[in-house]
Structure 1
C-alpha cells in the first residue's frame, strides 16, 4: 500500500499543488488544525503529516503540542511548512517534534525528494525492526536495496571495530562521501563535516541521544578526501541496537549539490533581476491578449529599443505596440501566439519593428501566457530584445556559406540545395551546363597563383553577364563553373547558349592558350536524380568535352551512351577490385611476346603483357583497363600480381633449361613511386629465387615528367641490384636523346610508330639509325617494337639495331605456347 500522508494547510491552492506533486502517495488533506485532529482519529494508519504553521483557529504549533502530548501519535513523522523569512519558526517547530521543514514557495523536485527520503526512512525503520527481530536478513542486504546513502551507528569521534561493532555504510554513502567504510569508522562523522555545519549538527545529535527528539533533518556539507565539498540532505533517526551501545541511530543522506547550485543561481537571479532589466538590450512587458497587445507594464528599455517612452504605450495611451510591429509580421505574430497559448507552450518568434524615427530593427520576442484558475488567458508576459546585429551577422554568415569567396558567385553547396529543393517542385525543363577550365592551373607555375585567380575572376565576371532570370551561374569546383538553366524549349537552345559561352571564353583566354570543356546534363523530371549524381555526371561530361576533338572548347552532352561508358568503367573497376581483393588472379593473366636477338637470330627474351578476361565483361583491352587501374590506384596491387606471374614464368623457363632467357615487365610510374617499391621487389625476387639479371623493367618515357630526380634515383638502385631498365615507346613522350645520357637505363625500345614509317619513308630519311647510333654511344642496347615486315627487319639490321619484337617474330603467346616456341 502507498504511504498515507495527512496534508494540513488552510490554502486550497497550496493543498492542490502539493497533492499533485505527491500523486504517488495516498494524500488526505485538512484545511485547519481541528479538521486535522479529527482525521487523525479516523485514520490511525497515517504515517506522515505535512503541517502548515500559519493557520487561523488552531495553528500548526498548537497541533504539534497536541500531537506531542498524545502517545498514540508518537511514531508519526511531521514535516512543517514555513516561509523563507521565518527561521525562528523552523527551530521552534523542530524542537516541538517536527523532523524536517520545507520552505515556501516550494519547488516540486525538492518537495518530492524530501518526502521520498522520509517515506524511505519510514519503510527502512519498519523493515529494519522487523528483519532484525526475525533475524532473517542482514543490514547489508537492505543497504543494497535503498537508493539513498545510509550509515548505521556512525560514530561521532574516531573509533575502532571493537569500539563500534555495529557500524556499517552502504555503497552509495561511500560514493557520496568519497570514503570507504574503514576511513569513515577511523575518522568519525565530525571530521568529515564542514566546520560551518558542525555546531548545528552536534546540537541536534545531542538532543537525539538524550531522547529529546527521535530524529532530525538538515542540509549540510561533507568534505571529501580531495578537499571538494558535497551538499547532502541528511536525516538522522533513532535506531535501537543495544542498550550498552552509544551510537543507536541511522543516518540517511541524499546528494543535493546540484540542487544547491540551482538554488544559489536562483537567488543570484533574483538579486540581479533589476540589474538585468536595466541592461537588457530591449524591454520586458506584460500585456493583454488582444490584437493591440495593450501594455499593462513596459520596462525602461522600451525607449532605447523603439524610440517611444514606456508610458506612451501603457494602455495604448499614444499608440499600441501593434502599431510598432512591421505590418507584414502583425498577422503572423498573432497566429503564432494563438497557436501556442492553448498548449501552454513558451513563445519564441523573430520579427521586425519600426522605431519612432522610421528605422527597422529585428527583435526576438520570448514570452508565455498567464492563466487564471479556470485556464483562461489573463495576460501575456515576456521580453523583446534587439537582435539586429545578430541578424546582420547571420546574413553575412549565410552569404559566406552560399557564395564563393573569390568570385562572389553562388557556390556548390547552394547549387546542391537548390537542385534538391526544386527536384519535386518544378514543372519546367531544367539543365546544368558545366564549364571546366582546369587547364588554367598550368599558368600558376609560370605566372603564380594570384595571376590565375585574377584570370578566373575576370572569366566569372564575363560569364555573369550571360545570366538571366532563367539562368544562374555558380562557382562549383576550382577553376570550374556551372550554369543552372530553367524553361528552355529544346536541346538546340542549350547548344546555342554553349556557343555564347565559347565566344566569351575564347575572347578572354585565346592569348593564354587555355582550353576547356563544356558539359551539359539535362535534369530528368521523372528519374528525380539527386544533386550529387547530377553534378557528378556534369563533371564527367565536361571532362569528356575537353578531350572530344580539335576545338579549344569542346561541348559534350551527358547521354545514355556516355552513361553506359561510365557504367562500363565502373564495371571494369569493380572487376579489378575483385581481382585485387582475391588471393587468385581472377581474370588477370599474362601473354608473352618474344624478343629476337638480331646478332644470334635467337629468342633472348619475352615481354610480359597483362590481359583481362572477365566472365561478365569478356576480354577487356589493356588500353581500356590499364588507365582505369592507374586512375583508381589499383595499378599498384595489380602490378604486383603481374610481376609475381612474370617471375613464376621465369622459373618455369629455368626448369625447362632456358635459364638465359629474360622477361620484361611494364611498370606504372604510380607503382614505381609507391612506398618501398624497390625493397619489396628485392624481397619478392629473393623469395622466388629469380636471377635479377633475367628481369627487365619497362617504363614509359613520360614518367620523367613527374619527378625526374626521384625516379632516376629509384632506377639507379634497381640497376645496381642487377636488373635491366628499358625506356618503352621511346620517341613519343617526354625524353630526348640529349637527356638520355642522364637516365639510369640499359635499353631503348623504339616505338612502333617509327617502325611503321619505314614502310613509306625513304629509309635514308628515317631517324632510327641516328637514335640507334646515339644509344650505342651511351652504352644502351636498342629494341625495335612492332616489326611486322621483313624489309623493316633488314633495315634495322643495317642500322645496327640489337633486338626486335613484333608480329614478324610472333604475336603475344600464352605461357604454354611461349615455352613451346623455345623448344
Structure 2
C-alpha cells in the first residue's frame, strides 16, 4: 500500500508510471514555451485521458469572480457536464471532500492523500452522505450519470489555488497510484502556466490603462492627476500640472508622485480616507489672485480597479467676467425679483378672486334656490311660479295655447299641527306635494305658495273638461290616508281654477282669481273644486273692504254688545247673560255676526276683537255688581284662534284684574270644534281657567265632534244644547229622546244644561220634563243692548205657566 491508503500498487506499475511522467513532463515543458492557455490546457486533458484511460477529464480555472468553472474538458456525457456546471465551486470550497459531498464522513473510502488529492474507485459508497444544501439536486444528478471512479487534484501556485483537475470513469477500480501521481506531477506545471497567463493579462491591462490615462490626462492642457483607489498612490500627473508645480511651488515630479508637493495641498488634491472618497466632487480655490476649479471623478478600469481623475482649471478670466456680469445685472436681478414678487402677488390675488367668485357663485345659487324654491318641499315657490306664469301668458297672447292655474289648499292641516306638532304637519305637506306632482301630469308645474297652499300651472290646458279631470285627480289623491310615523291621516283639499288669459291680464291677477275660486270651494263644503267666476271677484272685493273696516271698527266705536238672558227653568229667575257682538258699520249698516266673525277669524283680527269683547263684558259685570246683582254672571264666546294663543290666559287675567271683577262672575263658552283643533293644549288651558274660578261651558253641543271620551276629560261646568235640537222637540220620537239623553248624561257627569233657542212654551214644558236646568231664547228675550238689560233685570217677573 502506498501513501494513498486503499489503492493497490505494484513495482511494474511504479516503473511504468515514472517513464510516463518523464515523457509527459518533457512534452509539457516543450509545449508550455509557446501557444495559448487554451491550447495548453486542451493538450493537458488529452494527455491525462490517454495515460489514465478515464472517460472524463476536465480542468476548472479560477476566474476574477472567485468561481472555478470548467475551462477545458474531454469525454464526459452531456447530462454530467450540464449538472457539473450548475454546481458553483469557489476557491474556498477546494477541500476535495466539500467539492464532492458537502459533508463527507470519514469512511475507509474515498481516500485523500497528503497532497490534497481525492481518489475513489467506487463513488456509490458516499452517495448517501450528500448534505441537504441548495446544490444537492445537481450533485445527485452527477452521481446518477453513472461514474464509478473519481479523482480531484488541486492546482496551486505558491499555495494559492488557481484551479482543479477532475477525472472520472464509468468503471470501478479504474484509478491507481501511478495515475494519481502522474496528474499530481502535471498540476504544478498547469499552475505555472495559469499564473503566467494571469500576469500577462495584468500587464496587458496596465498597458491599456496607461494608454487610456495618456489619452485622458496627457493630451489635455488642464492640470490633472490620477490616483489608484486601491493603493492610494498618485500614478499619473498631466504636463500642465507638473509645469505649474515647478514654476509656482518649486516641487519636482517625484515629489508630486510621492504626494508631498505643496500644490496638492493648495488644490486640496491629496487623496485621503476622508471627503475625497466621496466622488464626484468639485471646489473653487483662490491662489495668488488666480481662481481655479478643482474637479474629481471616478473611472473604472477594464480590470475592475477604480481610480480618481482630478482636473484643475484656471478660471480667473471666467470669474472676473462673471463678477462683472453680476454687478452689471444687479438692477436687472432686483427688477426680476420685484416682478416675481408682483407676479406671485397677482397670482395670489387671482386665486383669491377665483375662490371668491366660486364662493359668490355658490352663494348666488343658494340665494337663487332660496328665492325660487320652497325650503320644505323643494318645489318652486310663489316667486318662481309668478315668473313662469308671466312667460306662459306672453306665449298665450302671441297665439300659443292658453292654460290654467289651480290653487289647492289642504283642509284642516292646522288641526294636525296643533294636535301632533309641526313635525307631523310638515311631513304631511311634503307627502301631499309629492302626490300632487304625481297626479298633475307631464308638463305641469307644481309649486308651494306657503303654509298648506299649492299652485299648479297647466300650460296648454284650456278645455274645461280636461281641466276638471285634472282637478278631480288632484282632489282624489287625498281619498287615501297619508301615513306619517305610524299614524294615518285622512286629508282633504279644496281647489280653485282660473284660466289664462281669459280670467286676467297678469299673473298676479290669475293667482288671485284662482285663490278666490278656492275660497268659494271651501264655502261650498270643502273637498271640492270651483272654476273662477266674475261674481267671485266682487265677493273678494267686498271681503277685503270688510276686513279693512273691521281693522278700524274698534277705534271708530262701531262695535257693541247685546245681552241675551239665561233663566232658571225651575225658578224662572234670571241667572246670567250671554254677551253677543254686534257691528253697525257706517259703510254697510248692521252686519250679521255670521258674516263678519269668520272674516275676523281668517284675517287674524279676532284676537283684537275678542279682547275688546272681554273688556266690555267685564265692565258690564262690574256695573251689575255695583247695582247689587253680583249673582248674575256673563258668558262670553271664545273663538278657536283666541284659545290657541299662547297669551290667552294672561289676557283673561289682566282683563279681570283691570275691571275688578270676581272670576266666578265670568263664563267662557267654548265650541267643540275649537277644542278639537288643539285638544291637549286646550284642556291644559281650561284647567288653568277653572282653577282661577272662571265658569266654563261647552257651546253648541251635538253639532261638532261629540265624544264621551274627550267630554269626560273637559273641565266644563255647563253643556249648551244647540238650537237645532230644540227646534225638533215638537217632531217627537227620537228627537225628544236625544235631548233627554243629553240632559241625563250631563247630570251624571256633574254638569248643568242650557237649552238654546227656546221659542215656545211647548219646548219649555218638555225641557222641564227632562229636568233641563236653564233656557235661553226668544221665549225669554231677544239679545238686548246694555241699557235694556239693566231694565230687564229690574222688571223681570216669573214666567207664565
Instruction: Return the TM-score normalized by structure 2.
Output: 0.48
> Per residue, is there more helix in 1 or in 2?
2
Larger Rg: 2
Give the structure, 1 or 2, with the largest relative contact order (CA under 8 Å, sep 6 or more).
2
